[in-house]
């Protein structure tokens, strides 16, 4: 049988792990670029250079694929922020370093970032999965706050943690619209709000 590689190019077979990473890369890019709903599985498969059923073998469903993308990105983010916080120092320094790490991650992985911030709540079945990761994020934050505010009830600390995370996410989105703002600057603004507080901000210096 004659092979015509120019029409049907030789598909290089890959190991499970490599293929999976490649699929996630493609999905991440295209979800971020055009949105989950606007991209078909067929199209993703074509971009990867495979046929659709392969995606389903690896991820089970379209939701599963999105979930894979989100999980990977969240994992990397968690690693980065935790490392930044675990250096130690005063609570203020830790908080600030955490903020900076968070925004730097957004800069470096900015495609993954968009997916992470914009798509997660979509998937109903993924809600629990996401919830777990969030709880980790929140736990870390609560731990940090507990060291600094030992007298506060845990409920209050949870509320602070949740609010801080929300502020971070929104700030990251704002930064995406204002790319000239550096991670350090963004962190300064957040420190002004969450650390110094609006009350004392008009008398003290704060960020420029």
Question: Where on the chain is the footprint of a second copy (CB under 8 A)?
Answer: 34-38, 91-92, 95, 117-124, 127, 145, 148-153, 155-156, 158-160, 162-171, 173-174, 178, 181, 186, 189-190, 192-202, 206-208
Residue 33 binding DNA, by CB under 7 A: no
Instruction: Name the phi and psi angles at 117, rounded to 5.
Output: -80, -30
By CB under 7 A, which span of 61-69, 116-124, 184-192, 198-206 interacts with DNA? 61-69
State the angle between helix axes of 41-48 and 16-34 in degrees (0 to 180), rounded to the nearest 10: 130
Please report, for residues 2, 97, 152, 192, 199, the alpha-carbon distance to residue 171 in angstroms, rounded to integers and kept in the order given: 58, 16, 26, 13, 20
Among 4, 7, 8, 177, binds DNA (CB under 7 A): 8
Q: Of the candidates 108, 115, 117, 129, which has an alpha carbon nearest to the alpha carbon of residue 24?
A: 115
Residue 143 binding DNA, by CB under 7 A: no
End-to-end CA gap in the chain: 72
> What is the total count of residues that contact DNA (CB under 7 A)?
24
C-alpha 167/C-alpha 143 separation (Å) is: 18
Residue 130 binding DNA, by CB under 7 A: no
Q: Give the residue with the Cβ less far from DNA, 41 or 191.
A: 41
**Interface ranges with DNA (CB under 7 A):** 8, 11-16, 19, 39-42, 49-54, 56-57, 60-63
């Amino acid at each position: 049988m004659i092979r015509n590689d120019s029409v049907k190019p030789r598909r290089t077979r890959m190991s499970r792990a490599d293929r999976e990473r490649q699929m996630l890369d493609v999905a991440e890019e295209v979800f971020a670029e055009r949105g989950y709903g606007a991209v078909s599985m067929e199209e993703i498969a074509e971009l990867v250079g495979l046929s659709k059923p392969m995606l389903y073998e690896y991820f089970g469903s379209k939701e599963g694929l999105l979930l894979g993308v989100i999980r990977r990105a969240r994992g990397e983010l968690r690693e980065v922020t935790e490392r930044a916080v675990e250096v130690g120092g005063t609570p203020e320094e830790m908080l600030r370093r955490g903020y900076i790490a968070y925004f730097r991650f957004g800069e470096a992985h900015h495609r993954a970032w968009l997916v992470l911030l914009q798509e997660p709540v979509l998937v109903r079945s993924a809600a629990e999965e996401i919830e777990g990761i969030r709880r980790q994020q929140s736990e870390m934050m609560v731990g940090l706050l507990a060291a600094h505010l030992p007298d506060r009830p845990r409920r209050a600390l949870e509320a602070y943690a949740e609010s801080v995370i929300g502020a971070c996410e929104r700030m990251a989105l704002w930064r995406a619209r204002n790319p000239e703002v550096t991670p350090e600057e963004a962190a300064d603004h957040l420190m002004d709000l969450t650390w110094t507080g609006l009350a004392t901000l008009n008398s003290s210096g704060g960020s420029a």
